[in-house]
Amino acid sequence: MGRKVHPKAIRIGINKEWDSAWYAHKTKYPQILAQDLKIKKMIHKSMKDAGIDRIRIRRSANKIDVLVYVARPGVAIGRGGEGIDLLQKELKRITKSEIELKIKEIRKADLSAKIVARTIADGIERRQPSKLLVASAIEKIMAAGAKGTKIWISGRINNASQARTVKAGSGSVPAQTLRADVDYAFEAAQTMDAGLMGVKVWIYRGGEDDNTSENEE
């Protein structure tokens, strides 16, 4: 039986970082973890059209720092900063803590597995042909400078009677080279006719000498 490990989790401390960084006593850990999940859920709901890559949370004794990496910062901030101000006030209300919310634009959205997977999932929900969505995504990923990518779509593709997995890719994606900067994401697409479909995206952005690691973005 194959033993698969999460491509990002295995590289934490090498070229990946924890999304949440804080220490808590074991009695308070569940509450703080639940609060982190609530913060992320609220941000995803508020900035769903901004192209969220990841959300980083750092906690000190009296303050929570939240940094959101997005493809479209203008959408996230809103007109005159109104959107981010309202969200920050709401986050302060639910956490009862001082919160500093910042937005950072990612350099190349086509090298973000999260954004690519969400784009494909949105296209599937709009009933666009999955084959064209995948081909377009691979072309953009490689044009953005990736060394390799692979995309899997699972479910009742094209409303087929039986579920299957379609795999496509280009270049190489190292599975065991820990210094390789491999980004990975999974997104679900809820369709009207075929039920739930899954989208997995791997993007190989280079090695430790290519200045593309997550720590340096």
> Using one digit for the tens of pLDDT, what is the confidence trace for 177-215?
889 999 999 999 998 888 899 999 999 998 755 444 453
Alpha helices for 54-186 (secondary structure H): 73-77, 82-95, 113-125, 130-143
> Does residue 101 have a pLDDT over 60?
yes
Q: Specify if 52 maps to a domain.
A: yes
Residue 209 is predicted with a pLDDT of 52
At which residue do the structure tokens 């296209």 appear? 123
Q: Specify if 35 maps to a domain.
A: yes
Q: Specify if 166 maps to a domain.
A: yes
CATH of the domain at 34: 3.30.300.20
Mean pLDDT of 22-49: 92
DSSP state, residue 181:
-
- One domain for residues 93 and 131: no
Q: Specify if 3 maps to a domain.
A: no
Residue 175 is predicted with a pLDDT of 84
Dist CA 100 CA 119 (whole Å): 29
Q: In the structure, how many helices (H) and strands (E) does the chain have?
A: 5, 8
CATH of the domain at 178: 3.30.1140.32
Among 51, 77, 105, give the residue marking a domain's end: 105
- One domain for residues 30 and 127: no
pTM: 0.86
Among 72, 105, 138, give the residue marking a domain's end: 105
Residue 2 is predicted with a pLDDT of 64
Among 105, 135, 155, give the residue marking a domain's end: 105
Contact 87, 45 (CB under 8 A): no
Close Cβ partners of 194 (under 8 Å, ≥ 6 residues apart):
155, 156, 157, 158, 159, 160
Domain that holds residue 81: 9-105
Dist CA 130 CA 166 (whole Å): 9
Mean pLDDT of 7-32: 90
> Using one digit for the tens of pLDDT, what is the confidence trace for 36-45?
999 999 999 9
- One domain for residues 118 and 209: yes
Instruction: Tell me the sheet residues that pair with 187.
Output: 199
> Using one digit for the tens of pLDDT, what is the confidence trace for 62-76?
899 999 999 999 888
Question: Comparing 207 with 8, which gets the higher pLDDT?
Answer: 8
Residue 190 is predicted with a pLDDT of 92
Q: Specify if 192 maps to a domain.
A: yes
> Using one digit for the tens of pLDDT, what is the confidence trace for 115-142?
999 999 999 999 999 999 999 999 999 9
- Per cent of the chain over pLDDT 90 is 64
